[in-house]
C-alpha cells in the first residue's frame, strides 16, 4: 500500500543542507519513491504560520520507505541534513477508506 513521507526542516546552514539535497533524488528513486513537492512555498491555512522547508514524497509501501532510510548512501547523506537543520519526518500509509474514514478518537 502506498506510503507518504512528509519532511519539515528548519535549515540553519543552506550550503551544508544543499549537500544533502544534491544526493537524495537518485536514492529516493532507487526505492520507487518520487517527490510530490520539494521545498515550494507553504501557505498556512489554519494554526501557527509555517515558514520552514517542507518535502512530500510518495513510495510504493512503508517497507520501501524503511529500506530507503536504511540505505548506506542515504545514511551518509543524512549527515549533512543533521549538521544543517532540525527535522520532523512523518510516514503515513495510504488508507483505502477515504469515503468514511475512522476518526480514531
Domains of the chain and CATH, by start: 3-43+52-93 (3.30.70.100)
Could you tell me the pLDDT band of residue 104, with boundaries at 50, 70 and 90? low
Return the SS3 of 105: coil
62-81 residue pLDDT tens: 999 999 999 999 999 999 99
Element (H, E) at 79: helix 72-84
Record the cell numbers describing residue 27, joined without a space. Answer: 536514492
- Mean of per-residue pLDDT scores for the chain: 93
Comparing C-alpha atoms, which of 33, 54, 34 is closest to residue 43? 54
Q: How high is the pLDDT of residue 22?
A: 97
Cα separation, 24 vs 77, in Å, equals 7
Amino acid at each position: 500500500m502506498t506510503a507518504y513521507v512528509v519532511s519539515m526542516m528548519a535549515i540553519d546552514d543552506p550550503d551544508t543542507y544543499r549537500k544533502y539535497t544534491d544526493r537524495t533524488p537518485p536514492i529516493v528513486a532507487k526505492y520507487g519513491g518520487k517527490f510530490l513537492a520539494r521545498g515550494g512555498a507553504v501557505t498556512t491555512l489554519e494554526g501557527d504560520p509555517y515558514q520552514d522547508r517542507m518535502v512530500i514524497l510518495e513510495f510504493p509501501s512503508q517497507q520501501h520507505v524503511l529500506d530507503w532510510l536504511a540505505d548506506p548512501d542515504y545514511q551518509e547523506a543524512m549527515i549533512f541534513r543533521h549538521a544543517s537543520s532540525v527535522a520532523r519526518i512523518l510516514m503515513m500509509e495510504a488508507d483505502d477508506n477515504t469515503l468514511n474514514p475512522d476518526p480514531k478518537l
